[in-house]
């Protein structure tokens, strides 16, 4: 089967990683590198787009409540967010800050199920990873501002491994590439360069 051609002008790079690994931190640095090298890119946070709609329809008051909504509501919000992001990518490069699997009371829910992957047609997926103990410490540091999930290192390891399987499945399904970027303590610029290089 041939890969479908689209009229899209930009690339779509999806950046995933477990909560607290440092996606938002690393992506703001990647955006700065892109600006300095005159590469135009829109940074989009999937959860923010879903939250805009969820709060408009009165489903939640806070962003971190979304993962406790019934899965069917999350899926509906997810699909409509994918359509909005697809329209953005028609105009230029998009970096998408998202999660490969969301920990819900019903089990891990895929952040990029096949219908979202088919809508977004990513060029690359970046798995942002860090040692579980460091992620656990980052979550504890942010506890006052973010209601993140449990932080035992073995659970974080499990979640990161699941993320790799998800990226592999999407790569096989869509033909996108997969890059692993390590966000080591105090070295977020190194991970940011890996991401910015995908857009050059």
Strands 101-104 and 107-110 turn out to be antiparallel
Please, which residue, 10 or 47, has the CB nearer to ligand ATP?
A: 47
Beta bridge partners of 103: 108
Q: Using CB under 6 A, which of 138, 160, 181, 196 touches ligand ATP? A: 138
Helix (H) or strand (E) holding 80: helix 71-91
Q: Is 28 in the site for Mg ion (CB under 5 A)?
A: no
DSSP state string for 16-67: E--TTSSHHHHHHHHHHHHHHTT---EEEEHHHHHHHHHHHTTS-SSGGGGG
Q: Is 157 in the site for ligand ATP (CB under 6 A)?
A: no
Q: What is the separation of C-alpha 20 from the centre of its chain, rounded to a whole number of angstroms? A: 12
Please, which residue, 96 or 196, has the CB nearer to Mg ion?
A: 96
Q: Is 133 in the site for ligand ATP (CB under 6 A)?
A: no
Q: Using CB under 6 A, which of 12, 15, 16, 17 touches ligand ATP? A: 17
Tokens for 45? Answer: 């946070």
Please, which residue, 66 or 198, has the CB nearer to ligand ATP?
A: 66
Site of interaction with Mg ion (CB under 5 A): 23-24
Site of interaction with ligand ATP (CB under 6 A): 17, 19-25, 138, 141-142, 146, 148, 183, 185-188
């Amino acid at each position: 089967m041939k890969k479908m051609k689209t009229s899209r002008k930009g690339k779509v790079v999806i950046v995933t990683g477990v909560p607290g690994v440092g996606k938002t931190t690393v992506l703001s640095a990647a955006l700065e590198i892109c600006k300095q090298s005159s590469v135009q890119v829109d940074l989009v946070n999937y959860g923010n787009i879903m939250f805009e709609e969820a709060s408009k329809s009165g489903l939640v008051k806070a962003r971190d409540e979304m993962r406790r909504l019934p899965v069917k509501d999350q899926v509906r919000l997810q699909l409509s967010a994918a359509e909005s992001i697809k329209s953005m990518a028609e105009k230029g490069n998009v970096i998408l800050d998202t999660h490969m699997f969301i920990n819900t009371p019903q089990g891990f829910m895929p952040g990029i199920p096949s219908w979202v992957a088919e809508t977004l047609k990513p060029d690359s997926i970046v798995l942002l990873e860090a040692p579980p103990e460091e992620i656990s410490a980052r979550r504890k540091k942010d506890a006052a501002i973010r209601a993140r999930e449990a932080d035992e290192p073995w659970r974080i390891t499990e979640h990161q491994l699941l993320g790799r399987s998800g990226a592999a499945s999407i790569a096989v399904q869509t033909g996108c590439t997969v890059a692993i970027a390590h966000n080591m303590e105090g070295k977020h610029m190194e991970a940011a360069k890996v991401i910015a290089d995908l857009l050059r």
